[in-house]
C-alpha cells in the first residue's frame, strides 16, 4: 500500500528523476530550491492533498534524482519538469517555486506558458541582484573544498544543536542557523556538491544574482500570480517580493511573520493556507500558443518605434 507523498521514479533521457505525489484534484507542482528536495515540501503537500493533486519533483542534481555532468541552468530544469509532467500525463498545472525553484517556475512559464494555470513565487530568486553573502561566497573559485569542510557531519550536528537552543530561547538567529545546517546537509556527497556548484554558478556570482526575470514580468500582467515571502528572510530580501508585486499588476502578495527563507519548513501551515486561499479565489488561466505573440507584441512594437526614431 502506498503512503501519502511516496517517492516515484521515471527515467528521462537516460537519467533518473524522482518525484513525490499526494492527493487528488487539480494539479499543483511544487519546485524546491537549491540543496532542498521534494521531501521538504511534505508538510505543505499533505495540507493541500485533500483537494489537489500535489506533485513535487527532485530537480536534477538534487535529492535522489540523478547528478549527471551537464546543463543545470534554469531553462534545463524547466525542460525536465515539462518532460516529467508529460510522462505522468499532466498537461496544465499550477506551478509553485521556492528560491531557485521560483526562478525555475518563472522560466517554465516563459518557455511553456500554455502549460501554466497559475504561478506562485515563494521567497523567489531572479527578482533582484541582492543575495546572502553565504551564497555569493559559494560562487568563488575553490568553494568545493570549503563546502566539503562546511558539510562535515560533526559541524552540521553542532550547528543544528546551537540553532535549536537559540530558537528555544526565542532568538531569530537560531532559525537561521538551523536553516544553514539543513541546507548544507545534502552536500555531504561529492556528486551533490558538484551539482550544487554547477547550479549555483548558473544563477549567482560574487556580485549576487546574475539571472533576472525583471525584464519579462510584464508577461504576467493579469495572470493569476501569488508572491509569498518570509518576513525574517536574510537570504533574499523581502523588498524583492514587494517590488515584484508592484511590477505585476493584479498579483497577490502575502508575508509570513514566522518564516525566514524556508516558509515551507518554518511555517508550512501558513504557507499552505496562503496557497489554498489563492487557489480557491482565482480562476485558472489558459494561454494558447496563438496568444503568446499578442503578449509580447506591444514591447516589440515599442522597440521598433525606438529604432526608427533613432
Helix (H, G, I), strand (E, B) or coil at 264: helix
Chain centroid offset of residue 83 CA = 18
Residue 277 has pLDDT above 70, yes or no: yes
Q: Averaged over 254-278, what is the pLDDT?
A: 96
Reported confidence tier of residue 140, pLDDT bands at 50, 70, 90: low
Q: Averaged over 36-46, what is the pLDDT?
A: 93
Q: Cβ distance 40 to 21 under 8 Å?
A: no
Percent of the chain with pLDDT over 70: 77
Q: What distance in Å separates the CA atoms of residue 63 and residue 30, rounded to the nearest whole number?
A: 14
305 is an active site residue? no
Q: Cβ distance 136 to 206 under 8 Å?
A: yes
Strand 7-12 to 15-22 pairing: antiparallel
Provide the pLDDT for residue 1: 39
Q: What distance in Å separates the CA atoms of residue 45 and residue 76, rounded to the nearest whole number?
A: 25
* Least trusted range by pLDDT, from 69-73, 111-115, 139-143, 190-194: 139-143
Provide the pLDDT for residue 36: 84
Q: Cβ distance 46 to 18 under 8 Å?
A: no
Catalytic residue among 202, 233, 245, 264: 233
Q: Cβ distance 10 to 87 under 8 Å?
A: yes
For the four alpha carbons of 217, 222, 225 and 227, in that order, the dihedral sign comes to: positive
51 is an active site residue? no
Catalytic residue among 38, 99, 132, 251: 99
Higher local confidence (pLDDT), 248 or 185: 248
* pLDDT single digits (tens) 288-309: 888 888 888 765 555 555 555 5
β partners of residue 226: 120, 252
Q: Averaged over 42-69, what is the pLDDT?
A: 93
The set of residues, in sequence order, having a beta carbon less than 8 Å from that of 238 and lying 6+ positions away, is: 229, 230, 231, 255
Using alpha carbons only, how large is the chain's radius of gyration in Å?
A: 19
Reported confidence tier of residue 141, pLDDT bands at 50, 70, 90: low
**Cell for 280?**
480557491
- Give the H/E segment covering residue 58: none
**Cell for 115?**
502549460
Chain centroid offset of residue 50 CA = 23
Higher local confidence (pLDDT), 270 or 167: 270
Higher local confidence (pLDDT), 240 or 70: 240
Provide the pLDDT for residue 10: 96
Provide the pLDDT for residue 295: 84
- Environment class of 130 (CB within 10 Å of its CB; exposed 0-12, middle 13-18, buried 19+): middle
Superfamily grouping for domain 7-130+209-309 = Alpha/Beta hydrolase fold, catalytic domain (3.40.50.1820)
pTM value is 0.82
Catalytic residue among 77, 245, 261, 264: 261
Q: Cβ distance 41 to 21 under 8 Å?
A: no
Amino acid at each position: 500500500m502506498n503512503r501519502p507523498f511516496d517517492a516515484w521514479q521515471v527515467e528521462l533521457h537516460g537519467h533518473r528523476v524522482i518525484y513525490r505525489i499526494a492527493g487528488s484534484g487539480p494539479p499543483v507542482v511544487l519546485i524546491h530550491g537549491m540543496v532542498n528536495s521534494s521531501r521538504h515540501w511534505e508538510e505543505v503537500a499533505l495540507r493541500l492533498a485533500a483537494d489537489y493533486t500535489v506533485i513535487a519533483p527532485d530537480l536534477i542534481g538534487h535529492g535522489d534524482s540523478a547528478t549527471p555532468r551537464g546543463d543545470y541552468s534554469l531553462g534545463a530544469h524547466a525542460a525536465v519538469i515539462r518532460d516529467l509532467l508529460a510522462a505522468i500525463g499532466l498537461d496544465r498545472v499550477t506551478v509553485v517555486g521556492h528560491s531557485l525553484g521560483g526562478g525555475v517556475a518563472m522560466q517554465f512559464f516563459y518557455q511553456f506558458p500554455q502549460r501554466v494555470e497559475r504561478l506562485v513565487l515563494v521567497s523567489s530568486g531572479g527578482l533582484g541582484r541582492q543575495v546572502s553573502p553565504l551564497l555569493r561566497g559559494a560562487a568563488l573559485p575553490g568553494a568545493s573544498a570549503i563546502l566539503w569542510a562546511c558539510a562535515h557531519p560533526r559541524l552540521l550536528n553542532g550547528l543544528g544543536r546551537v540553532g535549536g537552543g537559540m530558537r528555544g530561547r526565542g532568538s531569530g538567529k537560531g532559525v537561521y542557523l538551523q536553516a544553514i545546517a539543513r541546507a548544507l546537509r545534502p552536500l555531504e556527497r561529492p556528486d551533490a556538491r558538484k551539482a550544487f556548484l554547477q547550479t549555483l554558478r548558473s544563477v549567482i556570482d560574487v556580485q549576487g544574482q546574475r539571472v533576472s526575470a525583471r525584464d519579462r514580468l510584464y508577461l504576467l500582467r493579469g495572470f493569476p500570480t501569488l508572491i509569498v515571502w518570509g518576513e525574517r528572510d536574510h537570504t533574499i530580501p523581502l523588498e524583492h517580493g514587494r517590488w515584484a508585486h508592484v511590477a505585476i499588476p493584479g498579483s497577490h502578495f502575502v508575508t509570513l511573520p514566522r518564516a525566514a527563507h524556508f516558509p515551507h519548513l518554518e511555517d508550512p501551515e501558513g504557507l499552505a493556507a496562503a496557497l489554498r486561499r489563492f487557489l480557491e479565489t482565482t480562476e485558472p488561466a489558459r494561454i494558447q500558443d496563438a496568444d503568446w505573440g499578442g503578449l509580447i507584441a506591444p514591447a516589440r512594437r515599442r522597440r521598433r518605434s525606438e529604432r526608427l526614431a533613432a
